[in-house]
Amino acid sequence: MLTKKLPHFQSFLLLVSRRAHRLTRQQYDVIVVGGGHAGTEAAAAAARMGAETLLVTQKVNTIGALSCNPSLGGVGKGQLVKEVDALDGLCGRAGDWAGIHFSILNRRKGPAVWGPRAQLDRQRYREFIQSELLGTPRLTVLEGSVEELLVTEPNPEEPGHHRVNGIRLGNGGHSISASSVILTTGTFLSGSLFVGQTTVPGGRIGDAPSSAGLSHTLKERLGLRTGRLRTGTPPRIVKDSVDFSLAVLHPPDSHPTPFSFMNKHTRCKPEEQLPCYLTQTTLGVERVVKESLHLNCHIQQDTKGPRYCPSIESRVLRFPGREHQVWLEPEGVTSELVYPQGLSMTMPPDMQLRLIREIPALHRAEIHTPGYGVQYDFVCPTQLSPALQVKSTQGLFLAGQINGTTGYEEAAAQGLWAGVNAARWALSMPPVALSRTESYIGVLIDDLVTRGVTEPYRMFTSRAEFRTSLRPDNADLRLTLKGFEEVGCVSSLRYHEAVRVRDNLQDALTALESIVLSTTNWRKRLPGVLISENKSATLSGMDVLNYNNGSFEMLASVFPELLSPYLEFSQRLKIEAVYRPHCDLQKKEIERIQKEESMSLPEDIDYFSLPVSLSQEVREILDRVRPSTLGAATRLQGITPAAIVHLLNYIRHSG
Ligand code: FAD
């Protein structure tokens, strides 16, 4: 997959614009509005599902653009990339093509919460996404701005339900019909850009905001509740002006780990990877922030920004007197720019230059493009179903930053799932949902549609109650088979590879379980493994793998005939052995809940004083609804499986 040649970038643009001027049809199954991370996954997924799909976006040359940091994955986010890939999405393979510095974050913790991450070459990422879209059957790309949604008034038999019929293009453009429409307008809905005291309409630097007509349709005609959020980006710095000798070098992993299940290697060879550098702010930085506050209108506003990716202004005001980390990251193989992660700022450009020069490694740095902020409307996502369809408007789906999330990975995950469901709607198939127990995508969507957002939402491993089962290493087993057999968004090539892997893993696990030896015998055969004085006199191969220094390779050297056919899966088998006991326990808990569905919940139960680990939010929901059975509680929006387990244990023990 990594050996294919991408079509020349310019010829892609030419081809798309030719196609764009000669739309062969005026009726599509699915129209996707926006070619960002949500839109590209949505369009590709809908087309893979068999729907005739049209992607309309403001500029074809910004399809797949990385608006802010040139990186993909990380803790929690890497899990999303692996799951999008397991469902045959684009971003994992694009990351493997464009990555120039791969590292697994959180390595000191268990593999369930490792965060696969890559620094990307911006240009290569866009080229890959554009080339993939071009090669996707049933997908047409059109350059244009969508001015308005075509909607029918509510059916008297279904009061409150509008139905979307298509879109109307701006600048006097024509209308195009579709059975479903997916909006993925990112930061562009009523977007405004901020630098210093200047505010201009825009969705991103160099790009106009979405038209007012689109906001009008959503708010006035469809009556959707919206809110306002903000984010920002750092200045880009000229690489030659950075004094890297004053920063700490951070090399990549010596063996890059691909995101995609379908790739054995990344395009970038280990030795071709580029380093990142770490440096720190000084008290001088804090001084410049404080001096420029009155000139910085973005920071003075109440609109909520990303808590976990704050601007340098927010960081120094919140934690004065401290040094703050700044990562200096490459923007691409041939790029002359450096991305200073941690220095997102919106003060006037001259103050930005003063600020960065207060950092030792940047003492003579030059700014190529100043940092800026963006504020935009989002649609409160509790108005969506788990299929990401607007509950009150048939055929209308929303995905990405428009739903109040932040980040490429969160956008891509929603885009893929909206694409699947929009296609199913158009093809008269029932919607499909992913649960919190089977995927991070399920956690993300459940959090959005049941809890909503008050600040930009990003994924963390702590949001997933079943994270020991939802590991980056097993995304294929969790999702690829379902994606092919039940959903329809996975190619047969990927499916057959996933089946081969699943069968081999099962055989290898059976083989490991079949080797049962006394502890004394194991100690003789594997002197390198510190097998403790165990009460049980025998251990299986799986038990031995559970020891820190017990590896599959070691076992295979002792039992070559039985185990060497599975050497390619040695890391996966080790991880499986470590987590299996815990995952089995979790599985039993889930089954126990399913069995105990009819268990009555006492009428007079005081949820606020229950001595169990329940969040305030869960207690409030249970108190308000007062479900009569455990089964009824499981179906309440906002009640997590973990909360149900705590409730079940409490009732069992107190009864
Ligand atoms: P986008 O990637 O924004 O794509 C939207 C697409 O819709 C664009 O292609 C646009 O041209 C198109 N479009 C919009 N309106 C129309 C229309 N009417 N008709 C046709 N096409 C339309 N994320 C982080 O995680 N951390 C950060 O620090 C961070 N900082 C950011 C700073 C800035 C300045 C910006 C702009 C974004 C930042 N992001 C950050 C957000 C990140 O870029 C988004 O989360 C991600 O790109 C969202 O993907 P999306 O597909 O929802 O939207």
**Dihedrals φ, ψ of 391, to 5°?**
-60, -35
Mean pLDDT value across residues 597-603: 85
ipTM here: 0.97
Q: Please give the share of the chain, as a percent, with pLDDT higher than 90.
A: 70
The pLDDT value recorded for residue 655 is 65
C-alpha 446/C-alpha 641 separation (Å) is 12
- Per-residue burial over 206-224, b if 16 or more Cβ lie within 10 Å, else e, is ebbbbbeebbebbbeebeb
C-alpha 261/C-alpha 351 separation (Å) is 46
Mean pLDDT value across residues 191-198: 93
Q: Which of 110-119, 234-243, 612-621 has the lowest mean pLDDT?
A: 612-621
Split at pLDDT 50, 70, 90, the class of 21 is very low
The pLDDT value recorded for residue 99 is 98
Which segment, 180-184, 318-322, 442-446, is predicted with the most confidence on average? 180-184
pLDDT in tens, 263-309: 999 999 999 999 999 999 999 999 999 999 998 888 877 777 777 67
C-alpha 578/C-alpha 572 separation (Å) is 10
Mean pLDDT value across residues 244-269: 96
Helix/strand/coil for 224: coil
**pLDDT of 23 strictly over 70:** no
Split at pLDDT 50, 70, 90, the class of 522 is confident
CA end-to-end distance (rounded Å), the chain: 58
The pLDDT value recorded for residue 72 is 98
Q: What is the H or E stretch that residue 15 is in?
A: helix 9-21
Average model confidence (pLDDT) across the chain: 91
pLDDT in tens, 82-129: 999 999 999 999 999 999 999 999 998 888 889 999 999 999 999 999
The pLDDT value recorded for residue 591 is 81
Split at pLDDT 50, 70, 90, the class of 535 is low
DSSP 63-93: TT--SS-SEEE-TTHHHHHHHHHHTT-SHHH
> Position of tokens 């700044």?
326
Cβ 241 vs Cβ 365: under 8 Å: yes
Question: What is the Å distance from ligand 1's center to 201 Cα?
Answer: 15
Cβ 557 vs Cβ 528: under 8 Å: no
Residues 6+ apart with CB under 8 A from 513: 540, 541, 542
| Bridge-based pairing state of the strands 175-183 and 27-33 | parallel
**pLDDT of 635 strictly over 50:** yes
Torsion of CA 30, 33, 37, 40, to 10 degrees: 40
Cβ 424 vs Cβ 397: under 8 Å: no
**pLDDT of 590 strictly over 50:** yes
| Bridge-based pairing state of the strands 115-120 and 99-105 | antiparallel
Q: Is 461 exposed, middle or buried (0-12, 13-18, 19+ CB in 10 A)?
A: buried
> Position of tokens 């040094």?
323
Split at pLDDT 50, 70, 90, the class of 218 is very high
Mean pLDDT value across residues 583-599: 81
Helix/strand/coil for 207: strand
Split at pLDDT 50, 70, 90, the class of 3 is very low
Pocket of ligand 1 (CB under 6 A): 33-39, 56-58, 62, 67-68, 145-146, 184-188, 203-204, 207, 210-211, 214, 231-233, 306, 309, 344, 374, 400-401, 406-408, 411
Mean pLDDT value across residues 129-158: 90
How far from 500 is each of 90, 470, 474, CA to CA, in Å? 22, 20, 14
C-alpha 83/C-alpha 305 separation (Å) is 27
**pLDDT of 133 strictly over 50:** yes
Q: Which of 16, 37, 77 to mutate to test the pocket of ligand 1 (most atoms within 8 A of CB)?
A: 37
> Position of tokens 């926006």?
34
Question: What is the Å distance from ligand 1's center to 233 Cα?
Answer: 12
Split at pLDDT 50, 70, 90, the class of 2 is very low
Split at pLDDT 50, 70, 90, the class of 1 is very low
Q: Which of 175-184, 534-543, 559-568 has the lowest mean pLDDT?
A: 534-543
**Dihedrals φ, ψ of 504, to 5°?**
-65, -40
- Residue nearest atom 2 in ligand 1 by C-alpha distance: 36
Residues 6+ apart with CB under 8 A from 149: 164, 166, 167, 168, 181, 183, 214, 217, 218, 221, 222, 396
Question: What is the Å distance from ligand 1's center to 136 Cα?
Answer: 23
Of the candidates 279, 237, 260, 209, the one whose C-alpha atom is nearest the C-alpha of residue 86 is 260
C-alpha 576/C-alpha 474 separation (Å) is 9
